[in-house]
Amino acid sequence: MASMQLENQVSAKEQLTANLNNQSPNKIHPERYINYSESEKGPDPPTIDIGEEVTFNEFVSKGAVVYTPPSGGIPGLSPAWVLAWDATGYTVIPPNPNKVYVTCASTKIIEKMTDDEILKKLDKSTSADGSYTDPFTKATINANLTHSFRSGNSLKANFGQE
């Protein structure tokens, strides 16, 4: 399994390490990257080859990425994945827990989601765990956001397709 390291300057208290794993049958690339952390800049998510895990060090603490396979399939029917996270809570219980929002569907459906819609769904989430399987495309996504006082926040996500 290949691993790629990306570094960027973000304050240590808002550090987020993200491990993104592509278990789909195609290479996936970031169709859209949304940074909801106004004072931070993080690395842009890269394309992830089949079976590759990509690690981001010091990723933004609140954001979202929409991943899609390269064009070439049936337009609008290929799967797409949404991964959104909020690691600004620094608690494991309400009122401000770290949380994720995940979904997947055809690119036709996901492309219609606005940045604000994704943010609203993320803000409504109350869990640091997320999992979804789209019955039409058979795409799957699983994500977990954990916090450790020693190592900061860690986001793990798996993108797949049955």
pLDDT at residue 94, as a whole number: 57
Structural domains of the chain sorted by starting position, each given as residue range(s) with its CATH number in brackets: 3-161 (2.60.270.20)
Residue 147 pLDDT grade (very low, low, confident, very high; cuts 50, 70, 90): confident
Distance CA 74, CA 80 (A): 13
pLDDT at residue 17, as a whole number: 84
More confident residue, 115 or 162: 115
Listed in sequence order, the DSSP H helices in 13-161 are: 107-110, 115-124
5 has pLDDT over 50: no
Torsion of CA 106, 109, 112, 117, to 10 degrees: -100
